[in-house]
Amino acid sequence: MERALQQIFNFNRKPADEDKDDDLSDSEDSVYSGLEDSGSDSEEEEGSDDDEEEGSDDNDDKMKEKKEGEVSEEKKKHEYEHDSSDEEDIRNTVGNIPMEWYKDFPHIGYNLDGKKIYKPIRNKDELDDFLDKMENPEYWRTVHDKQTGSDVVLSDDQVELVNRLQRGQFGDVNFNECEPMVEFFSSDVMIHPVTNRPADKRSFIPSLTEKEKVSKLVHAIKMGWIKPRRVEDDGRGRYYNLWASEDSSILARHKMHLPAPKIPLPGHHESYNPPPEYLFTDEERALWEQQDPADRKLPFVPRKYSSLRQVPAFSQFIHERFERCLDLYLCPRQRKMRVNVNPEDLIPQLPKPKDLQPFPTTRSLVYRGHSGLVRSISVSPSGQWLASGSDDGSVRFWEVCSSRCMKTVQVGGAVKSVAWNPNPSVCLLAVALDSVVLILSPSLADKQVILSSERLLSAQQEGEEPAEGNGSVVWSEAEGEELNQGLRLKIQHPKAVHQVVWHAKGDYLASVMPDNTSHLQVYIHQLSRRRSQNPFSRNKGLVQCISFHPIRPYFFVATQRSIRIYNLVKQEMTKKLQTNSKWISSMAVHPGGDHVICGSYDCKLSWFDLDLSTKPYKMLRHHKKAVRGVAYHRLYPLFASASDDGSVIVCHGTVYNDLLQNPLIVPVKVLRGHVMTHDLGVLDVTFHPTQPWVFSSGADATICLFT
Amino acid sequence: MSQIQARFFTEDKRYVVDDVPFSIPAASEVQDLSNVINKLLEAKNGNKVDFDFLVRGQFLRTSLSTHMATEGISTVWILTGSYDKTARIWSTEGKPAMTVAGHTDVVKDVAWVKREGLTSLLLTASLDQTVLLWEWNSERNKVKARHCCRGHAGSVDTISVDPTGTKFCSGSWDKMLKIWSAVPTDEQDEIEEPADRPRKKQKTQQLGLTRTPLMTLSGHSEAVSSVLWCDSEEVCSASWDHTIRIWDVDTGGMKTTLTGSKVFNCISYSPLCRRLASGSTDRHIRLWDPRTKDGSLVLLSLTSHTGWVTAVKWAPSHAHQLVSGSLDNLVKLWDTRSCKAPLYDLAAHEDKVFCVDWTESGLMLSGGADNKLYTYRYSAQQAEA
């Protein structure tokens, strides 16, 4: 067997060797494969040879006997090696051919001597056969031999053998197929090893040939001679989209389907026997009847019946079904795509308050001395003095840097408004109380300034009595003790004065007398000529506050809901600002004159950009309660609002010269320092003219300076 | 305090000396004083006598200076200006010695020109836009207005006398600094203004002779709040316009500007450590180096006050100590080597502190809106009203 294998292998190898000789240079592949074959062959041959030789040498007796038996068998086999037809019936020498070929001959073959074997004389016909079948008890074991043409009767043993083979059993009766197996190699460690051969050297030396082979493979891969197996792509359409031809809109509609909203389930209200708290009281019933059918919470009145039998038919049934159908038909139902936006992204990027310094941050000084709520404060244009008017009937003058009260003037009435003349070359203070506007000369300035202000007051033209205003405004000079106190002029108005403001030049001042019924609400006074005039001939609403434009001849009048801007030269209205608030409380004009802020009693602060529109550019709702006062800083981009909630909010408001750029408004600080008194907090707020400081006066009779 | 003014009295007719003050060294002991008397009496009677001396009913046993220190006798006078339109002179024990009245408005700042000797010179600056130069005779306790310095058009908020005592500088709300002569003369400076009626009237009422400024330094854009002399040629001024400016008095030009971010209330300069300390309308005391040309570098911030710092003053004899007063009613003693926290909080005032100062002997003084002047001794922490 081994020799045969060897032969086969040799046979295989031969052409490869020839190949190698033929084209050694061009076909590396063949060289490689040839080497591979030869290597493995030689090794196996050697191995098997060694195994057998050594194995036969060292073995114990039992094994030897077995081996000998095997060897003897092998020898017998070797004797008949070329005679594979020993079991053949060789009486007929025609071989294994279809016997039909001898059908027409009298013989059916030749015997070993070359003599014809004649067919037996067939005298048996079908009838004989049948009779034979019926009568011959041996018939079932008679077999017709086609090669000899004779019938053979099988012996009992033969029949038995046939039966056994048919059943799939071994032919040999004595063969026990269920003999217990003697395991030659088992997991048990035996005392005596099966082979006591020392381990081969090659088992612990890395194989050189393997290495060579691998390196050749690697080289071949590197050179690109061997390519990895290509992965077949499935792009030939093994799979296909079943729904490709489907209309996507239909699918989308299915996906976006929204079921109709369900009718709410009936509750206790609908019950025929509701708990008593669900039944309407008389008031509720009256209310229900009063209400518009659309506003009613329930479309019916809950009723109580003693039994289900007595419940009448629901009269509203048809109507209700109709309404429902109408709802389903008319109300479009569609899924709203909600945009997933981080709410913080929507907040505009505002600069940090830290970058917007300076602005007031802490309460530095408290000016104490008043005994009533301080309605109004005003800082002198130099920034050295602060004037305050209070409900205790006094006007006080404070030194700003030390909070010392330098002067107290008793004016004998709750002071509504104080205003320092903005002209730095005069030192005058206008005070509004009851129906009088007082002009005070506090003599807190250089002597030249005091002189010039005295001169301004005394430079009146005699005999030129104001004809306008029906003589209702009376100018009079102060006398006696009042003169010592600093009082200079009294301007008597027909009605209670609420506010007094100066024009930037310091010669004109305007006063407000809020009155809804008359057109006599605003007076403009000229100090040097002691004239007063009422600029408006018609009542446009309750005037809340007024202001002069800081540069141009405009005049701002705030009524309850709107601010009107009048051109004083042309004597006409130029603009009307809609504040969208219910009741304006205060107003301030930007020193540039193009912006107005206005506070209102409904907690709002509106910023108007006069160049932009008549609607507020920005509404700030930072205060919890009514805004009482607003103020702009003269130099710094700051504005402040004071409110009844006891806080002053300072905002940064940069205004750009560029018309395209809108003002930048950033709230920077909430200042608290006043104690809430009688539900009132901060009443007035004003900025220092040169420093980023803010003053606030409160209902707790103090004034605070925040720096 | 090297020289002390002393008078000698005796009931013994033999040893009577002239009733005039003598200037004697403060370190002199009993023997030295005896020698002085003997020297004086040499003409009258030749023989030497050992005298004993009673100082305010106590025998003098040590040197005069130590005796005065232990007995609490001082020759240091404290000058205060007040919102009641007067200035007052106090002894360090708190006894009022003199009231200087003459201003028609609040006294904003006061300064000594000369304290040695019997006649002292002092200055008061007021809201009525004038600075008055007074001569005070401590012996007879008489005060006389020598000069009325007119020229400012706003309240004079601060004055400072130069180290030589011949000039002083004033800063005013009208943004100007003016340099004046501090030497009393008997001649009145000419006023160039045309004399109109009310001027004349005022002149007749005016105390002392009118004096006009030697020089006007203008450059600040806001009120000047504090002024001092760095040395005899340099004036340093702090202002509400957030700057500290250093001026050259000789040329009248500005040398350096240090820019801060807040209104300056006060500055103080220490020649020992050559630093400027400033108090602003915030909580911090800032230290500056006036020599830096680029300006706005704050060397150190001392933060402990909770209100505006209204007054700072370097210790006259210590390079690291300064005292500060604030609107939070506290006076704090600082050591610049421990900038995190003050050495001491001196909580005596019940209202805002407006001014602080040191005496030569190391006493700290503070005045405030509660109408009180407190002195503090540093080692003993003893405060007296």
**Tens digit of pLDDT for each residue in A614-635?**
888 888 888 888 898 899 988 8
Q: What integer pLDDT is reported at residue B190 of this predicted model?
A: 58
Whether B231 has a pLDDT exceeding 60, the answer reads yes
Question: For the residues B77-90, what does the mean pLDDT come to?
Answer: 84
Give chain A's mean pLDDT: 79
- Is the Cα dihedral A538, A541, A544, A547 positive or negative? negative
Whether A74 has a pLDDT exceeding 90, the answer reads no
SS (H, E, C) A252-295: HHHHCCCCCCCCCCCCHHHCCCCCHHHCCCHHHHHHHHHCCCCC
Buried residues in A168-180 as b, exposed as e (16+ CB within 10 A): eeeeeeeeeeeee
Question: For the residues A393-406, what does the mean pLDDT come to?
Answer: 87
Residue A173 in tokens: 């009766």
CB contact under 8 A, B327 and A446: no
Cβ neighbourhood burial of A459 (10 Å; 0-12, 13-18, 19+): exposed
Å from A362 to nearest chain B CA?
9
Length of chain A: 707
Residue A569: how many other CB atoms lie within 10 Å: 9
The listed range with the strongest mean pLDDT (A88-102, A452-466, B50-64, B122-136) is B122-136
Give the count of Cβ contacts less than 8 A between chain A and B. Answer: 41
Distance of CA B378 to the CA centre of its chain: 19
Q: What integer pLDDT is reported at residue A211 of this predicted model?
A: 93
Q: What integer pLDDT is reported at residue A26 of this predicted model?
A: 43
Q: Are B366 and B352 in contact (CB under 8 A)?
A: no
Question: A698: closest CA among A688, A684, A678?
Answer: A684
Chain A interface includes B264 (CB < 8 A): no
Query: What pTM was computed for the model?
Result: 0.63
Question: For the residues A322-340, what does the mean pLDDT come to?
Answer: 82
Q: What integer pLDDT is reported at residue B380 of this predicted model?
A: 41
Q: Which long-range contacts (CB under 8 A, 24 or more apart) does A432-435 make?
A: A432/A389, A432/A497, A432/A498, A432/A499, A432/A500, A432/A511, A433/A389, A433/A393, A433/A497, A434/A496, A434/A497, A435/A492, A435/A493, A435/A494, A435/A495, A435/A496, A435/A497, A435/A513
Q: What integer pLDDT is reported at residue A539 of this predicted model?
A: 78
pLDDT per position as a tens digit, A500-523: 998 888 888 888 888 877 778 888
- Neighboring chain A residues of B307 at a CB cutoff of 8 Å: 364
Question: B201: closest CA among A451, A487, A481, A489?
Answer: A451
Q: What angle do CA B200, B201, B202 make, to 5 degrees?
A: 90
Which range among A365-369, B22-26, B332-336 shows the weakest confidence by mean pLDDT?
A: B22-26
Distance of CA B48 to the CA centre of its chain: 43
Nearest to A446 among B83, B129, B369 (CB): B129
Pick the more confident residue, B73 or B160: B160
CB contact under 8 A, A707 and B261: no
Pick the more confident residue, A3 or A178: A178
CA distance A134 to B135: 181
Cβ neighbourhood burial of A196 (10 Å; 0-12, 13-18, 19+): exposed
- Neighboring chain A residues of B352 at a CB cutoff of 8 Å: 402-403
A352 DSSP assignment: P
Question: A626: closest CA among A604, A608, A647?
Answer: A604
Pick the more confident residue, B178 or B54: B178
CA distance B373 to B210: 32
Q: Identify residue B82 by its one-letter amino acid code.
A: S
Which range among A247-261, A330-344, A689-703 shows the weakest confidence by mean pLDDT?
A: A247-261
A680 DSSP assignment: B
A230 DSSP assignment: P
Q: What integer pLDDT is reported at residue B334 of this predicted model?
A: 87
Chain A interface includes B316 (CB < 8 A): no
CA distance A672 to A685: 13
Chain A interface includes B327 (CB < 8 A): yes
CA distance B161 to A194: 124
Chain A interface includes B129 (CB < 8 A): yes
Q: How far is CA A419 from CA A386, A429, A499, A547, A635, in A?
A: 10, 6, 9, 12, 19
* Helix ranges restricted to H, chain B: 30-41, 64-71, 197-205
Q: What integer pLDDT is reported at residue B293 of this predicted model?
A: 66
Q: What angle do CA A601, A602, A604 make, to 5 degrees?
A: 95
Whether A695 has a pLDDT exceeding 70, the answer reads yes
pLDDT per position as a tens digit, A370-387: 888 888 999 988 888 889
Residue A602: how many other CB atoms lie within 10 Å: 17
Question: A575: closest CA among A589, A562, A561, A588?
Answer: A562
pLDDT per position as a tens digit, A471-498: 677 888 777 777 777 788 888 888 888 8
Give residue A34's pLDDT band: very low, low, confident or very high (50, 70, 90).
very low
CA distance A143 to A154: 7
Å from A448 to nearest chain B CA?
8
- Neighboring chain B residues of A403 at a CB cutoff of 8 Å: 352
Q: What integer pLDDT is reported at residue A80 of this predicted model?
A: 56
Residue A125 in tokens: 């016909």
Nearest to B263 among A384, A448, A691 (CB): A691
- A623, A629, A633, A639 alpha-carbon torsion, rounded to 10°: 20
Phi and psi at residue B339, to the nearest 5°: -85, -5
Of the residues B152, B155, B205, B306, the best mutation for testing chain A's interface (the one with the most A CB atoms within 10 Å of its CB) is B155
Å from A401 to nearest chain B CA?
9
Give residue A235's pLDDT band: very low, low, confident or very high (50, 70, 90).
low
pLDDT per position as a tens digit, B183-195: 877 766 655 544 4
Q: Three-class SS of residue B161?
A: strand
Å from B286 to nearest chain A CA?
18
CA distance A87 to A85: 6
Nearest to A404 among B83, B198, B263 (CB): B83
Q: Are B345 and B332 in contact (CB under 8 A)?
A: yes
Strand A638-643 and strand A647-654: the pairing is antiparallel
Q: What integer pLDDT is reported at residue B117 of this predicted model?
A: 66
Q: What integer pLDDT is reported at residue A212 of this predicted model?
A: 95
Listing DSSP states for A70-82 in one string gives HHHHHHHHHHTSS
Q: What integer pLDDT is reported at residue B2 of this predicted model?
A: 60
Whether A48 has a pLDDT exceeding 60, the answer reads no
Q: Does an H or E element contain A162, and which?
A: helix A156-166
Residue B118: how many other CB atoms lie within 10 Å: 13
Question: B21: closest CA among B91, B118, B116?
Answer: B118
Pick the more confident residue, A151 or B309: B309
Q: Which residue in this structure is represented by tokens 């494969």? A: A33
- Neighboring chain B residues of A404 at a CB cutoff of 8 Å: 83, 369
User: In sequence order, which residues have a C-beta less than 8 Å from that of residue A209 and are 6 or more positions away?
Assistant: A39, A43
Of the residues A380, A402, A448, the best mutation for testing chain B's interface (the one with the most B CB atoms within 10 Å of its CB) is A402
Residues 165-204 on B with a CB inside 8 Å of A are: 173-174, 198
CA distance B112 to B123: 6
Whether A97 has a pLDDT exceeding 80, the answer reads yes
Whether B228 has a pLDDT exceeding 50, the answer reads yes
Q: What integer pLDDT is reported at residue A223 of this predicted model?
A: 92
Minimal Cα distance from A359: which residue of B? B262
Å from A446 to nearest chain B CA?
6
Å from A427 to nearest chain B CA?
13
A495 DSSP assignment: S
Of the residues A355, A691, A695, A706, the best mutation for testing chain B's interface (the one with the most B CB atoms within 10 Å of its CB) is A691
Chain A interface includes B308 (CB < 8 A): yes
Q: How far is CA B128 from CA A564, B101, B213, in A?
A: 45, 13, 16
Phi and psi at residue B191, to the nearest 5°: -105, 125
Residues 27-46 on B with a CB inside 8 Å of A are: none
Question: A667: closest CA among A616, A592, A613, A607?
Answer: A607
Q: What integer pLDDT is reported at residue B199 of this predicted model?
A: 45
Chain B interface includes A425 (CB < 8 A): no
Listing DSSP states for B24-60 in one string gives EETT--HHHHHHHHHHHHTTT--S------EETTEE-
Q: What integer pLDDT is reported at residue B294 of this predicted model?
A: 61
Of the residues A401, A407, A695, the best mutation for testing chain B's interface (the one with the most B CB atoms within 10 Å of its CB) is A401
Residue B233: how many other CB atoms lie within 10 Å: 13
Nearest to A384 among B173, B263, B352 (CB): B173
Question: A362: closest CA among A650, A634, A628?
Answer: A650
CA distance A226 to A218: 9
Whether A306 has a pLDDT exceeding 50, the answer reads yes
Whether A207 has a pLDDT exceeding 80, the answer reads yes
CA distance A415 to A33: 119
Residue A698 in tokens: 């409160």
Pick the more confident residue, A409 or A255: A409
Q: What angle do CA B18, B24, B26 make, to 5 degrees?
A: 145
pLDDT per position as a tens digit, B33-45: 888 888 877 777 6
pLDDT per position as a tens digit, A650-671: 998 888 887 777 888 888 889 8
Q: What integer pLDDT is reported at residue A220 of this predicted model?
A: 93
Whether A35 has a pLDDT exceeding 90, the answer reads no
CB contact under 8 A, A384 and B369: no
Å from B308 to nearest chain A CA?
7
Q: What integer pLDDT is reported at residue B200 of this predicted model?
A: 42
Of the residues A363, A366, A384, the best mutation for testing chain B's interface (the one with the most B CB atoms within 10 Å of its CB) is A384
Q: Are B353 and B331 in contact (CB under 8 A)?
A: yes
Chain B interface includes A443 (CB < 8 A): no
Q: What integer pLDDT is reported at residue A219 of this predicted model?
A: 94
Q: What integer pLDDT is reported at residue B303 of this predicted model?
A: 85
